[in-house]
Chain A
Amino acid sequence: MNRNNDVDSIVIRLAGDSGDGIQLMGSQFAVSTALAGADFATFPDYPAEIRAPVGTTFGVSAYQINLGGGPITTAGDAPEVLVAFNPAALKVSLPLLDKGALILINNDSFTARNLVKAGYDTDPREDGTLNDFQIVTADISHLNLEAVKEFGLSKSEGGRCKNFYALGMLLWMFDRELESVEAWISRRLADQATMRDANIRALHAGHAFAETAEMSANLSQIQLAEADMEPGEYRSITGAEALALGLAAAGELAKTQVMFCSYPITPASPLLHRLTRLAEMGVGTFQAEDEIAAICAAIGASYGGMIGVTSSSGPGIALKTEAMGLAVSAELPLVIVNWQRGGPSTGLPTKTEQSDLYQAVYGRNADTPLPVLSASTSGECFEMAIEATRIAIRHMTPVILLADGYLSNAAEPWRIPDMAAFEPITKNIVPESDDSPQRRAFTRDEKSLGRPWVTPGMPDLLHRIGGLEKDVETGHISYDPANHQRMTDMRAAKIDAVAEFIDDQRIEHGPDSGDIVVVGWGSTYGPIYQATRRTGVSFVHLRHINPLPRNLGEILGRFDKILMPEMNNGQLSTVLRDKLCMETLPFSKVTGQPFLIREIVEKIESLRGDV
C-alpha cells in the first residue's frame, strides 16, 4: 500500500467473530465514506452459523469495502487494509492479501487460547508469518473498556462497544467525519441512553487514540480521491432494500396493492424484513407456513386483484415449481424472486452463486415457459422489480427475477431515480361483448397475448379458472387434442412476445465488433465491468434472459470469441447455445466467492494470446 499519499481507491477488510458487530461496523463505515464523496462497493461475507463458537476460523465474519474515486463496481480483489479482531480472522484473511498490505491487529485477542482455536502453533505476530506486511497493533478491547468505564457497564456490555472504537480509528485513518455514525447510534439506541452514550464515547475514543502520538508513528491518514459521479441525489442501498422499494414502486405505478408472501430462507429473508415496513405504501406481507404455501398465497392474492409476489432461494424455488405451472395455466400475474446461493441441496446458504439459471429457464414439468429477468447490481434490483411486475401484468404470467446472495447484502451508492420517468403499469381491459364471462376472461390481447385480469367481486364476470387444460377460445375445460397443441403454442408465443416489448440489448462499453466480447448476467457485472475496462474488450450484460433481446444474436455474431464468466458450471453458455446456436467459452467459478477482477483480466489476456 502506498502510504502517506493520496490514493485513487482502497480495499479494506474488517474481520472478527460473528458476534463482534463486524457487519454493522462495515455498513456504517460505507455510509460515512459516501458522505465524503467516495464511490464504494461492499461485500459482507459471514458464516452460516448465527453465533459460531467464539474464536474459531469457521465463525469469522468479514466485511469488505472498496472505496474511492469511481467507478467502483466490485468490493475489490485484494484487501490493502485488514482489521483483524482475533487470530482466526487473521488466519482466514491472510491468504487474500497482497504483500505490503497494512494489518491492524487487536492485541488483546491474541491469547494462547485464541491462537490454539485459530490453529496457530506459534504467535503469527512473532514467528515471521507477517514479515511481508505492515503491522499496527493496538489493545483495542482493553482501550475500549477503559474508554467506557465511567458508564458502569458490565464487561460484556462494555465489550460490545469495541466495534465502534475500531470504527473511530478507521474513520480517522480515512479522514472521515464521525457525525453520520453518531446520528445513527443516537437513532438506533434512542431508548437505551447508557449504551448510546457508551458507543458514542467509544467511537470518539478510537478516533482520538488513532490521532494521538500513540499510533500516528505507525499509522498515517490516507486521502482518498473523490469519485466522479453523475450529479444527483444519492443514498446507500443493498439489493434487498432496492428490490423492496422497487416492488412498492411497481404497485404505485400499477395503482394496485402488493401482497408479498414468503417463508424465511437465507439469503432471501432481508427482502421480507424490508417489505414489512412499507405497509403505508400499499404493501402487505404474509409469512407462510412453507415455500409452497408462500407461492400459493401469492397466487391467491393475484387472483384476488393484488400483485402477488413471492421470494426464496434455490431450494425454496424448487418447492414452488408446481405452483408456477398453475399460474402459467391460469394466466395470473406473479413475481418470483430467487436470491441464489451455493448448492446443491443446502449447499452454502450464505455464499453467492448463479447456479439456478437452468431451474429458472427450464425447471418445470411440461412445456411451461415463463419470463426470466436478472438484476446486475444492488441498485438495479429497483428497476428490475418494476420491469418484472410490468411484464407479469401485461402478459398475465409468472415472472422469475434472479438476484443472488451477494446482491442481497452488498451496499453501493445509488442515484435516486426520478419516478416520473417510469411509465405507469396498465392492466388489460375486459372486452365489452355479449360473450360469456368465461370467454371474456380469456380473450387475450393480440400483441402481448395477456388476458384481462378479472377478479372475484367483479359483477357479471363470474367464471372458473384452474390447472386443467382449457379451450383456447372459450376458457372452458377442454381435453381436445388439437386444442392442447394450440394452447401449448399460445403459451410459448406469449413468452416470445415479451421480446417485442423490451429494450434492445446494448453493449456496455468497448468496440461493437472484434475479437472478444465478454458476456455476463447478474452480480458478475461489477468484476466484468472493471476487467473489460482495463483490457479494452467489449462487454455485454444481460438483464432479460428469457426471452433474450431480439438483437443479441446479431451483436454477438460480430465477435470471434464470446467469453462467459459465470458463478456456475456454464449455464448461460448452455442457454445461448440452445436459443442462439452459438458456441461460447464458458469461464466458471463456483467457490461461493465473487469473481476477482484480475481473474477475468488474466482470462482475457490468455485468450488474446490465442487470437
Chain B
Amino acid sequence: MPKDFATSQEVRWCPGCGDYAILKAVQKALADVGANPANTAFVSGIGCAARFPYYIETYGFHTIHGRAPAIATGLKLANPELDVWVVTGDGDGLSIGGNHLMHTLRRNVGLKVLLFNNEIYGLTKGQYSPTSRIGTTSPSSPRGSVDAPISPGQFVMGCGAHFFARGVDTDKVGMSDVLRQVHAFTGTAFVEIFQNCIVYNEDVFANFTERKTAADTQLHLKHGEPMLFGENNDKGIRFNQETWSLEVVDATDSLNEVLVHDEGNAIVARLLIDLHLPVAMGVIYRQPAVSFEDAFYAHHPSRMERKKSITDFIRGPSSWTVD
C-alpha cells in the first residue's frame, strides 16, 4: 500500500507545491512494484526536493548540496543489493552538483535519479537557477537573468546516459508508468520531472502542463509505437530531411510518415528532447549497458569477501630475520 511508504513526519512543503504529487507518485510506485523498504534508500542533497527522504518510509540520507550522487555511489558500491534513489533539483543537480551527476551518468552507476526541475531556487527564496530561461526576473536578477539555461536532457545525453525519461509532477498516470520503468532499469535511470513551484515560479510550465490542453501539448512516447498525440491521436511527429529536425504532421493524412519511437536511438532522442510543442514525455532514451557496480565487482564476484589475511601480505616482496 502507498501509505506504508509514508513516515510519521509532517510534510513541510508549501501548500500546493508540486512535490506533494511527486511524493505520492513515488510512494505508489514503490508499493506497485513491491519494493522492500529495508532494501531501499533515498539519498538527497540540499533544496526543497532534498527533504524527500524524511517523508518516505525507507532508509534515507539527507546530505549536502550537490553531493547526493557521490554519496549514493559509495552506498551502491558498499551494498549493490540496495535500490538507491537520488532526489535532486535543478540547482542541486545541475549547478553545484553538476560534476557528480556527469560522472554518475558516464559510469552508469545503478542509481535512480529524480531531478525536480522548477527552473528556480526555492529554498533560498527564489533566485534564478541554471535551468531558468533568459530574462527570468528574481531577487538576484531584478533586470532579468542573462545566462542561457542548460537543457537537462541534452546534458545527460552528453554525459553518456543510458536512460532518460520525463514526467509532469501532477500527471499520475505518466509518472506511475515512468517510475516503474525507472525501478526496473539497471544503471543510472534519470528522470526530469517538471515541478511547479507555486511560490517563486508559478506556472512556468503551464503552456504544456495544463490538463485541458495536455493532449495537444504533450507527446507520450512508447517504444515501438508511432509518435502520436492530440485529442484523437490525430497528430504525429515526422523527421524533416530538409531541416534535420522533427515537425508536427497531420496523422490522419500521413500516418506512414510518423516516426515510430525507438528508445535506443540516441540521435532521435536528442531531437525529441529539443521538441518544444508538444513536449516529449515518458522514456525518451534507453540503451541498457553494464552498470558500474557490476563492472566494479566483475573481478570480485564475492564482493571483496576477504580471501586472504593480512599475514599473507604483510611480508611484502622480501623479508629477513634478525636473531
Q: Tell me how far the C-beta of B44 lies from the nearest C-beta in chain A, rounded to whole angstroms.
A: 8
**Assuming A301-B78, A304-B78, is B315 touching A281 (CB within 8 A)?**
no
Interface-lining segment among A16-24, A158-166, A285-293, A571-579: A285-293
B residues within 8 A CB of A278? 313
**Assuming A235-B315, A282-B305, A304-B78, is B321 touching A296 (CB within 8 A)?**
no
**Assuming A293-B99, A462-B38, A464-B54, is B62 touching A299 (CB within 8 A)?**
no
Q: Does B13 lie at the interface of the complex (its beta carbon under 8 Å from any beta carbon of A)? A: no
CA distance A462 to B312 in the complex (A): 39
| B74 near A303: Cβ-Cβ < 8 Å | yes
| A326 near B63: Cβ-Cβ < 8 Å | yes
Q: List 6 A-B contacts (CB under 8 A).
A: A34-B320, A37-B322, A231-B323, A296-B63, A457-B39, A477-B9
**Assuming A281-B308, A464-B60, is B74 touching A301 (CB within 8 A)?**
yes
Chain A interface size, under 10 / 10 to 19 / 20 to 34 / 35 or more: 35 or more
Q: Does A517 lie at the interface of the complex (its beta carbon under 8 Å from any beta carbon of B)? A: no
Q: Does B319 lie at the interface of the complex (its beta carbon under 8 Å from any beta carbon of A)? A: yes
Q: Does A463 lie at the interface of the complex (its beta carbon under 8 Å from any beta carbon of B)? A: yes
Instruction: With a 10 A CB-CB cut-off, give which of B43, B306, B307 has the most chain A CB atoms.
Output: B306
Q: Tell me how far the C-beta of B301 lies from the nearest C-beta in chain A, rounded to whole angstroms.
A: 11
Interface-lining segment among A147-155, A251-259, A339-347: A251-259
| A232 near B322: Cβ-Cβ < 8 Å | yes
CA distance A284 to B71 in the complex (A): 16
| B74 near A419: Cβ-Cβ < 8 Å | no
| A300 near B74: Cβ-Cβ < 8 Å | yes
Q: Tell me how far the C-beta of B69 lies from the nearest C-beta in chain A, rounded to whole angstroms.
A: 8
Contact count A vs B, C-beta below 8 Å: 213
B residues within 8 A CB of A419? 309-311, 314
Q: Tell me how far the C-beta of A293 lies from the nearest C-beta in chain B, rounded to whole angstroms.
A: 4
- 5 closest A-B pairs by beta carbon, nearest first, are A300-B74, A304-B78, A466-B62, A297-B74, A296-B70
CA distance A290 to B99 in the complex (A): 9
| B310 near A252: Cβ-Cβ < 8 Å | yes
The residues of A with any CB-CB pair to B shorter than 8 Å are: 31, 34-35, 37, 180, 183-184, 187, 229-237, 241, 245, 248-249, 251-252, 257, 259, 261, 278-284, 286, 288-290, 292-293, 296-306, 308, 322-323, 325-326, 330, 416-417, 419, 455-468, 476-477
B residues within 8 A CB of A241? 316
Task: Return the chain A residue nearest B43 by Cβ.
Answer: A300
Interface string of B103-140 (1 = CB under 8 A from A): 10000000000000000000000000000000000000
Label chain B's interface by main secondary structure.
Answer: mixed
| A31 near B299: Cβ-Cβ < 8 Å | no
A residues within 8 A CB of B39? 456-457
Partner of A259 from B53, B77, B309 at Cβ < 8 Å: B77
Q: Does B170 lie at the interface of the complex (its beta carbon under 8 Å from any beta carbon of A)? A: no
| B75 near A301: Cβ-Cβ < 8 Å | yes
Task: Return the chain A residue nearest B56 by Cβ.
Answer: A464
Partner of B318 from A180, A282, A297, A304 at Cβ < 8 Å: A180
Instruction: With a 10 A CB-CB cut-off, give which of A229, A231, A322, A455 has the most chain B CB atoms.
Output: A455
B residues within 8 A CB of A232? 321-322
A residues within 8 A CB of B64? 296, 322-323, 325-326, 467
| B310 near A248: Cβ-Cβ < 8 Å | yes
B residues within 8 A CB of A305? 78-79
| B38 near A459: Cβ-Cβ < 8 Å | yes
B residues within 8 A CB of A330? 61
| A476 near B321: Cβ-Cβ < 8 Å | no
CA distance A259 to B64 in the complex (A): 21
B residues within 8 A CB of A37? 322
| A298 near B74: Cβ-Cβ < 8 Å | yes
Interface string of B13-47 (1 = CB under 8 A from A): 00000000000000000000000011111010000
Interface string of B287-315 (1 = CB under 8 A from A): 00000000010011001111111111111
Contacts A235-B320, A304-B74, A457-B38 supplied; 10 other A-B pairs, CB < 8 Å:
A230-B322, A231-B321, A233-B322, A284-B296, A284-B300, A286-B77, A298-B74, A419-B310, A456-B75, A466-B54
| B71 near A300: Cβ-Cβ < 8 Å | yes
Instruction: With a 10 A CB-CB cut-off, give which of A229, A290, A460, A462 has the most chain B CB atoms.
Output: A462
Task: Return the chain A residue nearest B54 by Cβ.
Answer: A464
B residues within 8 A CB of A459? 38
Q: Does B58 lie at the interface of the complex (its beta carbon under 8 Å from any beta carbon of A)? A: yes
B residues within 8 A CB of A279? 299-300, 304
Q: Tell me how far the C-beta of B78 lies from the nearest C-beta in chain A, rounded to whole angstroms.
A: 3
Q: Tell me how far the C-beta of B323 lies from the nearest C-beta in chain A, rounded to whole angstroms.
A: 6
CA distance A284 to B310 in the complex (A): 15
| A234 near B60: Cβ-Cβ < 8 Å | no
| B319 near A234: Cβ-Cβ < 8 Å | yes
B residues within 8 A CB of A456? 38-41, 59, 75, 79, 82
Partner of A466 from B37, B58, B61, B102 at Cβ < 8 Å: B61
Q: Does B224 lie at the interface of the complex (its beta carbon under 8 Å from any beta carbon of A)? A: no
**Assuming A284-B296, A297-B74, is B59 touching A251 (CB within 8 A)?**
no
A residues within 8 A CB of B7? 464
CA distance A1 to B306 in the complex (A): 52
CA distance A468 to B123 in the complex (A): 14
| B299 near A457: Cβ-Cβ < 8 Å | no
B residues within 8 A CB of A468? 62
| A259 near B61: Cβ-Cβ < 8 Å | no
Q: Does B166 lie at the interface of the complex (its beta carbon under 8 Å from any beta carbon of A)? A: no
Q: Does B81 lie at the interface of the complex (its beta carbon under 8 Å from any beta carbon of A)? A: yes
B residues within 8 A CB of A229? 322
Q: Tell me how far the C-beta of B300 lies from the nearest C-beta in chain A, rounded to whole angstroms.
A: 6
CA distance A477 to B12 in the complex (A): 12
Q: Tell me how far the C-beta of B246 lies from the nearest C-beta in chain A, rounded to whole angstroms.
A: 34
| A303 near B71: Cβ-Cβ < 8 Å | yes
Partner of B319 from A235, A248, A284, A296 at Cβ < 8 Å: A235
CA distance A325 to B67 in the complex (A): 13
Q: Does B100 lie at the interface of the complex (its beta carbon under 8 Å from any beta carbon of A)? A: yes
Interface residues in B131-161 by Cβ distance below 8 A to A read none
CA distance A298 to B70 in the complex (A): 9
Q: Does B195 lie at the interface of the complex (its beta carbon under 8 Å from any beta carbon of A)? A: no
| A236 near B322: Cβ-Cβ < 8 Å | no
